[in-house]
Amino acid sequence: MFKDFNFSLLPSVLNFRIDVDRLYSENTLRENDPDNALPITNFNKNFQMTRLYGMSWNLTRSLQLDFNATNYSIIDEPEGRISGLKRDTIWNNLKRLGRTSDYNHTLNMNYNVPINKIPGLRWTNLVARYGTNFNWRTEPLITLRDPDINFGNTIQNSRTIQLNPTLNFVSLYNKWGFVRRANDPQANPASRAVVNLLTSIKNVTGAYTKTEGTFLPGYLPKTNILGYDFDTDAPGWGFIFGSQKDIRGKAVTQGWITNDTLQNQLYITTRREDLSLRGTIEPIKDLRIELTALKSQNFNYSTTFKWDGNKFDNQSPITSGDYSISFFSIGTAFAKDDQNGTSKLFRQFENNRQTVSRRLAGSNPNSQGQDSLGYANGYGRNSQDVIVSSFLAAYTGKSSDGVSLRQFPKIPVPNWRITYNGLTKYDFFSQIFASFDLNHSYKSTYSVNGFNTQARYATSNGAASVTDANGNFLPYYQFTQVTLFEQFLPLLGVDFRLKNNMSANFEYRKSRALSLSLANSQVAQQRDDGIIFGFGYRTANFRFPFGLFGGRKLTNDINFKMDFALNDRKTTIFRADVDGAEISSGAKNISFRPSIDYVLNQRLNIRMYYDGNITKPYTSQTFNTSFSNFGISLRFTLQ
């Protein structure tokens, strides 16, 4: 373990580059007015300098550092034609390396954490990464030269923290003697099966990424080295290298922020977190289960932080974002709508609202009594808190008495993909099939598509206390839309190849997307069912059984392929407290695509194909359509 702490005293790579670019042009125009013979001269001048710095340093065997910085500066020039003392002014500005207009640097550190060097943890691995970015940008030149305007500069930073753990359980199991004995070909089959079941978890990998950033306008200090101003000791080394500590209080105290009331740029902070967990389970040989759990959340805070004439104040602060997490809603995946277009699940959603309303009122002492419809005061039938929990209870198959009232689930539920390719080890299958695979997958995602805080939200007695125009308590986050997306891709899949080079595949796919609009308590349900069938045959000695070429044998490769797909997609709109439903879009679709490929030689290929498609819509907005394409294509390859 200590061998990995092999410190390197010098960087591996150092680089520096400076680019100087000057544009100077004069354009003289003479007016046609005979009374004005003085020429008019326009000057176009742009004198820029770019300095680039870079360093790569392998501090230890496990720790690498990369740093890159770019400084853009402008060599200010006096007005008019350059001559006399103006040249001295330019040389002095050039010796000072110009006036910095933009400075940016990035720092990345990668560390292979040596936990696998610890005895007993050699089956683990952890990679950590820290990346940061800093940017300083000057205010526009027109305001910089105006003594009555002081907008200030802007500074911005960001940081990314990433962790990637890997747990290789196979390496751990191989350290145990009873596992090695059970894997011996001469071991008892029963004991081998038990050991395989106990050691079914093969590996687990994870990825956690957290990205944060801060944007601060109205910043007065300049930049000297690495974006730091040594005269004012600003903005602090922590901010320079990615710290997300709020420095506004210190900036106001130290006089770093302009008090110009015309400064209206937003102070912004961002935070995004992504979590991904993946695992592989093999309870029996040839049966593979892949589990995946995902979670993503994004928060953006913005406010106008400015001088109001007496003090610095946060004006119109707001937090917005979105949220997504892997979910489990298979309990109602196969529920069908009634023939008259109504949905039992949607009716259950409506019936859940009163129960959820009472539960919410029980945790809020500010809710007293009920309204005329039997809902608790502050939690009416159109309350966001009531609707979201009722929706999740109905479409996950849970009871309204037991469903969680948390609208941001914390723990992601694993989705899965199952594959099995062990049937060919049985005599019946091995005599016919060269391979035979079965597969199944399930994916469900719960998402909050856009939310933001409300300015009027307030609490008393530890709970929400301010109501909207309808008498419902304002939630801390106002949602725009909540969605549940569920997908079997496929529900059942079969893929096999016969020993005579004939192959076929079959898939039954099923998915649904449920979108709950918080504006009108409306649910849009899109169902998509599909059947896919494919057939293929490849041979090098094909004999035509009939026709003009009957009995003739082809010695080159010929490939027959046929694909058939049947798809049924329908979108239905359900409105709360409104009988019936509306089919807004959708269609049934059938496609048929056979083709024949014949290889004459290495350079020439002939293909015959047919493509047929029939679509029958559910609504009168579009017509029934049918089209077909067929033809012959020749492909000649030049080598």
pLDDT tens string 210-258:
999 999 999 999 999 999 999 999 999 999 999 999 999 999 999 999 9
- From residue 131, how far is each of 227, 277, 447 by CA, in Å? 17, 22, 28
* Residue 226 CB partners (closer than 8 Å, separation 6+): 69, 105, 134, 240
Using an 8 Å Cβ cutoff, are 476 and 382 in contact? no
pLDDT at 555 over 70: no
pLDDT (tens digit per residue) in 35-84:
665 667 888 889 999 999 999 999 988 899 999 999 999 998 888 888 88
- The predicted pLDDT at position 111 comes to 95
Buried b (16+ CB within 10 A) or exposed e, 533-572: ebebbbeeebeeeeeeeeeeebeeebbbbbbbbebbbbbb
Sequential DSSP letters for 508-538: EEEEEEEEEETTTTEEEEEEEEEEEEEEEEE
> Tokens for 335?
């529920």
Task: Band the pLDDT of 553: cuts 50, 70, 90.
Answer: low
Contact criterion met (CB below 8 Å) for 263 and 151: yes
pLDDT value at residue 612: 95
